[in-house]
Structure 1
């Protein structure tokens, strides 16, 4: 069995103050941090013990995980397990990256996001250079707000061609044809993000070969369907895995719609689904203008 797990514990604090994020600059009290650390330790122990399943894990914290030592330690720990194919995390890349030298870089990967106004482009690029020097797989992304376009273009120009730059459509923002073309020039797959995908009753890998796990072990089909289908720690998740149609009208988040079977995006991102890297990247085309430096 091959199973992808999106894990989200109680952590909700972040060191950034992005105006488009409801968790910006949130501070978790000590008791919540202790609960998050204990939940992650329990999850890591379960991963270690579950050797009959080929596992891939993506940590999707509401806040920033890599500023917490227990997320860094857990990624290193899980990366060395033979039955873990990939362990990745969504991160703003504000924290140092040298700890990844202790990880198995064939397994560990990062899904990184550049937030203009929170970190300088130069500092962010330094982190990317550190990841490349270590041989860590990573993607880079931005939120497609009009005020971010110039910085996104500059970032694309400064990144090597082999680094995939993805763009998330900004929540609540409408894109006309010209705006969509600007962002698509940076991310050829932007079209999948810019319009919500009809998903009701459509087949999805979620709940079959991909699940969402909460800090208490509750298992859901995905982050966007709240109804639990079992619990990780009592084994009830195993018989619950089966093909299902989606119960939501639309799916508009990459970590959800990448698993919608009719879209075929698992093939597009084969080998890099969790860290959001397309299989055929960089594309066989002319070099991106200004890139490769």
Structure 2
């Protein structure tokens, strides 16, 4: 069986404090960090024993995982298992990158986000170039806020052409057509992020070939539908796997709507769904528009 799992344990601490981040952060205590490590070890042990299945694994922590040694170790170990097709993690790339030398670059991949104001630009770019030199598959993205536009343009110029630069529509932000055109010039797939997708009653792979797992092993169809399907560790979730329609009115997060069968994104990201790497980096079409004026600037 081919199964994709999105794992999110109890880790909630992050070394960044982005004001636009929708995740509620905390400063994890020593006990909370040990609990997260134990939960991750349990999940990794389960994954290692599923040799009759072909697994694709995406780690989507509330906090930053790769600054913790147990996430780095787990990704390395899982990348070397023959029944693991892909193991990827969402990261701000603040960690060191030398540990990647121990991983299988044919299996491990990174979904990286650049946060202007949280880390020096040159430091982030140097790490991206190191990933390229190591042959690690990765994408890079920016939250599409007006104050991030110049940094995103600079990234697109400095990154290798084969590295996909994605733009996430900022939560609660409305984009005029002119605004959207600027971001679409950088990321031709931005229109998929600009508006939430109507999903109620539409077929979705979640709950069938894609599931979400928390630190206790509770299985749900995705991060956004709270109803449990069973538990990973007692196997009770298996009987609940089946094709099903989305019960929500809309889906507005890439890790959710990418699995909607009514969208072509499995073809667009063929071979790179988890790390958000398209099969072919989409061609850009230049749009000659002035930069947006920040709110509160003269003339606004």
TM-score by structure 1 length? 0.95
Counterpart residue number, 2:158: 158
Q: Which runs of 5+ in 1 are unaligned?
A: 288-293
Q: Tell me how far 1:24 sits from its aligned partner.
A: 7.2
* Residue 129 (str. 1) matches residue 154 (str. 2): no
> Is the CA contact (8 Å cut-off) linking 1:54 and 1:84 kept in structure 2?
yes
Give 1:25-40 correspondences, 5 Å limit: 26-40=26-40
Counterpart residue number, 2:224: 224
Tell me how far apart the structure 2 counterparts of residues 103 and 182 of structure 1 sit (CA, whole Å): 37
Counterpart residue number, 1:193: 193
Q: Tell me how far 1:243 sits from its aligned partner.
A: 0.3
Tell me how far apart the structure 2 counterparts of residues 282 and 66 of structure 1 sit (CA, whole Å): 29
Counterpart residue number, 2:142: 142
Q: Which runs of 5+ in 2 are unaligned?
A: 287-300
Tell me how far apart the structure 1 counterparts of residues 85 and 69 of structure 2 sit (CA, whole Å): 22
Counterpart residue number, 2:247: 247
CA RMSD in angstroms, aligned pairs only:
1.5
The CA deviation string for residues 180-233 of structure 1, in whole angstroms up to 9 with x for no partner, is 000000000000000000000100000011000000000000000011001100
Counterpart residue number, 2:53: 53
> Is the CA contact (8 Å cut-off) linking 2:12 and 2:25 kept in structure 1?
no
| Other structure's SS at 1:28 match | coil
Poorly superposed stretches of 4+, deviation over 2 Å? 22-26
Q: Tell me how far 1:26 sits from its aligned partner.
A: 3.1
| Other structure's SS at 1:221 match | strand
Q: How many equivalent pairs are there?
A: 287
TM-score by structure 2 length? 0.93
Counterpart residue number, 1:3: 3
Tell me how far apart the structure 1 counterparts of residues 231 and 26 of structure 2 sit (CA, whole Å): 29
> Is the CA contact (8 Å cut-off) linking 1:9 and 1:39 kept in structure 2?
yes
CA gap of 1:241–1:25, structure 2 versus 1, over 3 A, is closer
| Other structure's SS at 1:13 match | coil
